[in-house]
Structure 1
Amino acid sequence: MQNGFNAYAAAAKTAQAVVTPRELEASLLIKAATRLQTVAEDWGSRERDLDDALTYNRRLWMLLVSAVTAEDNPLPVGIKQNILSLANFIFNHTIQIMLAPQAQSLGVLVNINRDIAAGLRGR
């Protein structure tokens, strides 16, 4: 049984090693979108989870902004500016949602995260 566990552990470690930064970013964006979508779809019983979902999404976008603005980031300036503009929109929209929570307001954030994730995955 130990040999099976060791083989599984080695395979899992190898799989983790080949995850690219783009794939990791895409996965995290999908996770944030899923959390927001879950709240939106079950608003009556999930509204209390709104703050956690928005906080997760905002923190993720803050990390993306940090990565984009890093001095050693190789992205072209135009793409960096577009990402920063998009992040600014997301932060402002998040504030609007917090001031006037509505399930349908979450769709914009969900769609942006999914679209960016798809782009990162080359789809």
Structure 2
Amino acid sequence: MNAVANAKYGYSSFSNATRSEQSIEYDIIARVTAELDAASKIQGNDFSAFVKALSNNRRLWVLLASDVAHPSNRLPKPLKAQIFYLSQFVEQKSREVLRDRGDVAPLIEVNRSLLNGLGQQGAKR
């Protein structure tokens, strides 16, 4: 390993340790959303990749719902309720998409709206 690679490796764990929870959350949601968007475009050619992306999105929303349902979550109650409702919407819509009775676009839009909200919240800090 050269000096530059050593420096990058040495400081990468430090930079990850100093990232905010919100920044990490944003990146995870963005990655899942990008994966779902890309998989939706090749759904006919690689259905297994599409199902995997859809499953990852469902897991993301289950985690978000679990997080807002936890008593230690400090978000305002109306926001918690909205996130919980959206997780139920994502679950229902995902089932429809898998049964070939729905479009994946609303799921991607929900994620992008969440990212937009997180981005605006981050800009206020």
Q: What residue in structure 2 maps to residue 120 of structure 1?
A: 118
Instruction: Give the structure with the higher percent helix.
Output: 1
Percentage of identical aligned residues: 25
On the 8 A contact 1:32/1:57 being kept in 2, the answer is: yes
Instruction: Kindly state the Cα deviation for residue 109 of structure 1 after the two structures are TM-superposed.
Output: 0.9
Instruction: Kindly state the Cα deviation for residue 60 of structure 1 after the two structures are TM-superposed.
Output: 0.8
User: Residues 59-100 of structure 1: CA distance to partner in whole angstroms, max 9, x if unpaired?
Assistant: 111111111111111111111001111111111101111111
Whether 1:110 aligns to 2:99 is: no
On the 8 A contact 2:43/2:49 being kept in 1, the answer is: no
Q: 13-22 or 68-77, which moves further after superposition?
A: 13-22
- Contiguous gaps of at least 5 residues in structure 2: none
Distance 2:3 2:90 in 1: 48
- Contiguous gaps of at least 5 residues in structure 1: none
Q: What residue in structure 2 maps to residue 37 of structure 1?
A: 37
Whether 1:69 aligns to 2:75 is: no
Distance 2:63 2:27 in 1: 14
Whether 1:51 aligns to 2:69 is: no
AA aligned opposite 2:64:
L
User: Which one has more relative contact order, counting CA pairs under 8 Å at least 6 apart?
Assistant: 1
Runs of 4+ off more than 6 Å: none
RMSD: 1.8
Q: Give the TM-score normalised by the residue count of structure 1.
A: 0.86
Q: 56-65 or 6-15, which moves further after superposition?
A: 6-15
Alpha-carbon distance change, 101 to 42 in structure 1, aligned in 2, over 3 angstroms:
farther
On the 8 A contact 2:26/2:115 being kept in 1, the answer is: yes
Instruction: Kindly state the Cα deviation for residue 3 of structure 1 after the two structures are TM-superposed.
Output: 4.4
AA aligned opposite 1:61:
W
